[in-house]
Amino acid sequence: MPQLSPATPQLSVPVHDHITDAMKAPAFLRLSANVVLARFETMKVYAALGAVRALLERGRVVPGQTLVDSSSGIYALALAMACHRYGLRCHIVASTTVDATMRAQLEVLGATVDQMPPSRSLRLDQERRVRHVRQLLAERPDFHWMRQYHDGVHHTGYRELAELAAAALPGEDLTVVGTVGTGASTGGLTRALRADGRTVRLVGIQPFGSVTFGSEGFSDPEAIIAGIGSSIPFGNVRHELYDTMHWLDFRHAMAGSVALLRQHAVFAGLSTGAAHLVAGWEAARDPRRTHLVLGADTGHRYAERVFARHAEASDPSTLRPERIDELAELRPPWAVLEWAGRPAPPAAVVTPESEAVR
């Protein structure tokens, strides 16, 4: 057997103590000269691990306690894994969109799952879930509500991602491109990068029908990407962090996802597809900056409803957003507005009245 030469460098390969350490590490993939994808199996592992670790360190939760939260999918799995790692119990109030595969994983990990019945609207589904969480807390005051939508502790885990991104892309002016959702990933990453002195633009993406950035007056009948928008105000969204906002319908996100697989062999979810489409448009207009696309999860949840329909997908090179100057001009299917740090729209402000569905 050949012997290694003394001059041959020795590889340093980590052996992880828990699967969450392996899952949270992104693969950085250059898609073009100024677009880089940070591809995750489940990006919300950063949010869940960072939050749980911080809560334990601060004494807000103790080993053996039950953590409870509402989720439409990948946060539920991330939280169940964090609880598995740190010796905590997990109770998930699941959206109707959580499929049998996800539910089985949660249950095998030891989580208790209460799933909401089919609902006619995203808002009704979210409100039912939050009401159910409140009922659980009334019955079990020893439960700790994670409040992924509102507790800023979920931003903390993304500092580690910022360090990885800085090491992968040293000295480059960055534009972070990602779907907004709860606001923790795009907001937490960008805040950490800016705190270290990086020049960072933040481009956010929303579906039509979300209150978070003012598109609640529209509906998208095909939309199945509930996790990237909201029908209720989210306290974790820091609107002032965002430089540019894009709104996309399902068909445009689908085009981005199919193109990412076809062009780069990357099988990723709809939120990643939306970010891929937006980043390509932004990068063509600002070639001096590196555009970092957040690829939140894989495409498995969308195999039948997106990838099996790949023949229907539009060619991204034919798609263009409509530039608007004010929210009053917003229209489907794709619009872009220079947000420039504007405050939250009225419907997205967390008020005492909205506390009832928080």
pLDDT of residue 96: 81
pLDDT of residue 244: 98
pLDDT of residue 72: 77
Q: Which runs of consecutive H residues, i.e. helices, occur in the chain?
A: 19-24, 44-57, 74-86, 100-108, 122-139, 158-168, 184-195, 250-264, 270-285
CA separation for the pair 170, 106 (Å, rounded): 38
Burial of 167 (0-12, 13-18, 19+ CB in 10 A): exposed
| SS3 state of residue 204 | strand
pLDDT of residue 95: 84
Instruction: With beta carbons less than 8 A apart as the criterion, state whether 174 and 286 touch.
Output: no
How far from chain centre, in Å, is Cα 14?
26
Q: Tokens 């780069």 identify what position?
A: 264
* Residue ranges of domains in the chain, CATH in brackets: 19-43+156-339 (3.40.50.1100), 45-152 (3.40.50.1100)
Question: How many C-beta neighbours within 10 Å does residue 1 have?
Answer: 2
What b/e string do you get for 319-358 counting C-beta neighbours within 10 Å, with b at 16 or more?
Answer: bebeebeebeebebbbbbbebeeeebbebbebeeebeebb
Q: Give average pLDDT by consecutive 10-residue segment, the chain, 358 residues.
A: 55 91 93 97 94 97 96 90 97 88 94 85 76 94 94 94 95 94 94 94 95 92 70 92 97 97 97 97 97 95 93 97 98 97 94 53
Task: Give, in degrees to the nearest 5, the angle at Cα 313 between 310 and 316.
Answer: 130
pLDDT of residue 122: 64
Q: Give the list of residues 6+ apart from residue 51 with CB closer than 8 angstroms, or none.
A: 82, 146, 148, 151, 153, 154, 156, 157
Instruction: With beta carbons less than 8 A apart as the criterion, state whether 82 and 52 touch.
Output: yes
pLDDT of residue 214: 95
CA separation for the pair 143, 257 (Å, rounded): 38
Task: Give, in degrees to the nearest 5, the angle at Cα 151 between 149 and 155.
Answer: 90
Antiparallel, parallel or unpaired: β 35-39 and 27-32: antiparallel
pLDDT of residue 170: 94
CA separation for the pair 224, 103 (Å, rounded): 17
pLDDT of residue 37: 98
pLDDT of residue 157: 92
pLDDT of residue 357: 47
pLDDT of residue 228: 80
Instruction: With beta carbons less than 8 A apart as the criterion, state whether 302 and 270 touch.
Output: yes
How far from chain centre, in Å, is Cα 46?
10
Question: How many C-beta neighbours within 10 Å does residue 160 have?
Answer: 17
CA separation for the pair 28, 38 (Å, rounded): 5
pLDDT of residue 221: 76
